[in-house]
Amino acid sequence: MKIKSIALLAGLVLAMSLSTSALAKQELRFPINMPEPKEGQVVHVPPTMDDLEASNLHPELKRTIRRGYDLFMNTQQLRGENVFNDMNCKSCHMGEGRLPFAAPVWRAAIAMPNFRGKNQHVNNLEERIAGCFAFSMNGKPPAYGSDDMIALTSYHQWLAKGLPIFERKNFYGAGYPIEKAPSTPSYDRGKKLYTENCAICHSDDGSGMRVDGTPHFPAVWGDLSYNWGAGISRMHTLAGFIRSNMPLGQPMTMSVQESWDIAEYIDSQERPQEPRFTGDVKDTRAKYLDTFHKHTNYGLEKQGRLLGDHENFGEKDFVKPDNLRPRTFK
């Protein structure tokens, strides 16, 4: 199959460039320790924006994809309408949504439409992106079919160029993979590690950093961070993100244990209420336990307080965006 061989070839090229750069720069004090692709893994090297300009796509489509890229990189331009915290898409999906081990977003473009455990129904790519807006951006998704939504889905699909859809492959660098913690994650160890490694950018109080009022380093907890329903509020997701991406420019320098410890510390802090809040945190935790909250500290007592037991929705004046709803086909 042609597509498969292209993907494999791309994989080879990447693997080769990884090993040659590792060989030539052995003297580097901070080598890029990205894992080599494993046997049988498919490596997808997404196209760049330069590739887009050089492509023969219709000029209007190019314009739409550029708009999607711009929204992805500077999502704060939707502040107060769709975004109600200090996050951008690129805050979690590093490297323009292309970087391996930083949940590269092309995977959603080939997996959707699909059944999602989180909301128990079939989601298309727009609805998947809507989830990010509702939870990670503590906001309200752009309307389905709107210019901004089409721009974002177009950018996602551009990054997936050349991949077969609906084929579950073992993709190199998908998601935020991490091994299980060797020992139980520790709040105290996490606090110390956070202070030493993270606070310089994200502040001791987790609020990140603003420069002249402009969000700069993202808030990792508190009112300006993602809410209790965000994927990255799950321990393993945050631990995986940290391990592969933090501190910036030094991937894989925190150990697996350290990454889990920091995740435990961050996930023991407060953040805006879960948009699916029923009015009672324990009830909400129980309702979404199997599909989500078994991986979070939401509704658990940590450091003497019940996490998520509040009616603080951050900057927004609604609980759940009205365009998030079940689908029935009745």
Instruction: Give the interface with other proteins as residue ranges (CB under 8 A).
Output: 21, 25, 28-30, 32, 49, 94-96, 98-99, 197, 200-201, 207, 209-214, 216-217, 223-224, 247-251, 311-313, 315-317, 319
Minimal distance in Å, beta carbon 157 to other proteins? 20
Alpha carbons 17 and 235: distance in angstroms, whole number: 32
- What is the b/e burial string over 263-286, where b = at least 16 CB atoms within 10 angstroms of the residue's CB? bbbbbbbbbbbbbbbeeebeebbe
* H-helix segments, the chain: 2-24, 49-54, 59-73, 89-92, 106-111, 125-131, 147-159, 187-197, 199-202, 235-245, 256-266, 281-287
Minimal distance in Å, beta carbon 183 to other proteins? 25
Alpha carbons 288 and 292: distance in angstroms, whole number: 6
Of 107 and 234, CB closest to other proteins:
107
- Is-contact 292 211, C-beta < 8 A? no
Of 35 and 247, CB closest to other proteins:
247
Picking from 132, 92, 105, 103, the residue whose alpha carbon sits closest to that of residue 246 is 92
Of 127 and 206, CB closest to other proteins:
206
Whether the bond between 113 and the residue before it is cis, its omega within 30 degrees of 0, is yes
Minimal distance in Å, beta carbon 46 to other proteins? 10
Alpha carbons 267 and 205: distance in angstroms, whole number: 13
Minimal distance in Å, beta carbon 290 to other proteins? 28
Minimal distance in Å, beta carbon 49 to other proteins? 8
Of 91 and 268, CB closest to other proteins:
91
Alpha carbons 265 and 254: distance in angstroms, whole number: 15
Minimal distance in Å, beta carbon 262 to other proteins? 14
Report the sign of the C-alpha dihedral through residues 303, 199, 230, 189, in that order.
negative
Of 29 and 168, CB closest to other proteins:
29
Of 48 and 291, CB closest to other proteins:
48
Minimal distance in Å, beta carbon 269 to other proteins? 16
Of 123 and 138, CB closest to other proteins:
138
